[in-house]
Amino acid sequence: MGYDPENPMKDRITDIGPQHYAQYFPPVIKKNFGKWLYHEIIQPGVLKHVSETGDECYTVRVGCARLISVMMIRDYCDIADKHADGVMRYTTRNNVEFMVDSAAKVKPLLDACAKHGSMPVGGTGAGVTNIVHTQGWVHCHTPATDASGVVKAVMDELFDYFTSMKLPAQVRVALACCLNMCGAVHCSDIAILGVHRKPPMIDHDTITAVCELPLAISACPLGAVKPAKGINSKGEEVKSVAVNNDRCMFCGNCYTMCPAMPLADPDGDGIAILVGGKISNSRSTPKFSKMVIPFLPNTPPRWPETVAAVKNILETYAKDAKKYERVGEWAERIGWEKFFEKCNIPFTDKSIDDYRLAYDTWRTTTQFKYTSHIK
């Protein structure tokens, strides 16, 4: 049985779609589906949901590295088998959740997580939850920085905010290792974004073989790539492209379309920090993250500049914001000029938008605050 390479189409099954979710519900979830009345967070990382039937569901949320081995998954399974009816789930922020139906079952579950050593409980309420992130150097072909490594370094430093709820509101930190933003950092309270700073090189030896030149040319949103003759390493003239460096904003889209236009570089690449984005419609409308630090170097293995920058913003916000206020709401209330001053972040021209719709972000009023920026 199994796949037969001699008869690849024999007994083939396609388009069966995902498994039906309901078969994996813990009993208390199945019984109370659609009947939940309210919830409380009884301690950091432990949720209590109460149903109109009177049933209770206790959830223990565990921080997870996302890049995990099947051995780690089996460790989670062991705990779920012993303590949580053999069922578990993953959150959209890559935490693991175990659910039980009585308060008495919580302590043994927490003890089991503590005993394992790599299952921190937290990530609820007014704290920092798991950092949503991308692949980085471990498995992606276009990154400008690593992902798992940076996240490990940052979460080690923010750990106390994962296991407690002492911030003014929840703070969502996310990392995307390039401008493609698989990690959707563009609407996060604090976003760590891998950026390139050098225009693409052109590999005239391979470009005609591996690229559709019109696609590479049209890939550039700023028209910086144009058809041109190139000279390959044998001295022959080949059909190729040229890049107008002054127009390049280093998005990397040309490289995505054309492998012969690499732009990654040890010195050119690094990290930008954006803040103040949110997704929830609660109080204020969803917001984009705004770039406040245009560049920090890649410094493996622990990215101290990035870790310090994130921690500084988080702790300045924690000290200054009001209860319920998200990072972006706080920055808008005090004004961005105060944000830069309070966070002691140098302001540069790089934080003034000069891309599409830039004018929407320029100040068109006499209303501003005097800060140390006005000499």
Residue 166 beta carbon to other proteins: minimum distance, rounded to whole angstroms: 4
State how far the Cα of 80 lies from the Cα of 75, in Å rounded to an integer.
Answer: 9
Nearest to 190 by CA among 167, 219, 216: 167
- When the beta carbons of 127 and 199 are compared against other proteins, the nearer one is 127
Question: Which residues neighbour 31 within 8 Å (Cβ) at sequence distance 6 or greater?
Answer: 51, 53, 55
- When the beta carbons of 9 and 374 are compared against other proteins, the nearer one is 9
- When the beta carbons of 24 and 368 are compared against other proteins, the nearer one is 24
CA dist list (Å): 209 to 96, 212, 217, 224, 225:
45, 8, 16, 22, 18
Asked if residue 185 lies in contact with residue 191, where contact means CB atoms within 8 angstroms, the answer is yes
Nearest to 60 by CA among 101, 99, 90: 99
Question: Which residues neighbour 193 within 8 Å (Cβ) at sequence distance 6 or greater?
Answer: 175, 176, 179, 181, 185, 271, 272, 273, 274
Residue 351 beta carbon to other proteins: minimum distance, rounded to whole angstroms: 16
- When the beta carbons of 152 and 230 are compared against other proteins, the nearer one is 152
- When the beta carbons of 13 and 374 are compared against other proteins, the nearer one is 13
- When the beta carbons of 94 and 240 are compared against other proteins, the nearer one is 94
Residue 363 beta carbon to other proteins: minimum distance, rounded to whole angstroms: 17
- When the beta carbons of 86 and 227 are compared against other proteins, the nearer one is 86
Residue 325 beta carbon to other proteins: minimum distance, rounded to whole angstroms: 9
State how far the Cα of 369 lies from the Cα of 342, in Å rounded to an integer.
Answer: 13
Residue 323 beta carbon to other proteins: minimum distance, rounded to whole angstroms: 5
Residue 57 beta carbon to other proteins: minimum distance, rounded to whole angstroms: 6
- When the beta carbons of 142 and 240 are compared against other proteins, the nearer one is 142
- Coil/strand/helix, residue 271: strand
Residue 353 beta carbon to other proteins: minimum distance, rounded to whole angstroms: 10
Both tokens assigned to 55: 């049933």
N residues, the chain:
375
Hunting for tokens 């920085």 — which residue is that? Answer: 145
Given CA atoms 194, 200, 205, 210 in this order, what sign does their dihedral have?
Answer: positive
CA dist list (Å): 154 to 147, 171, 196:
11, 14, 21
- When the beta carbons of 92 and 366 are compared against other proteins, the nearer one is 92
Residue 370 beta carbon to other proteins: minimum distance, rounded to whole angstroms: 28
Residue 314 beta carbon to other proteins: minimum distance, rounded to whole angstroms: 14
The two beta strands, 190-195 and 270-275, are antiparallel
- Coil/strand/helix, residue 272: strand
Whole-angstrom Cα Rg for the chain: 25
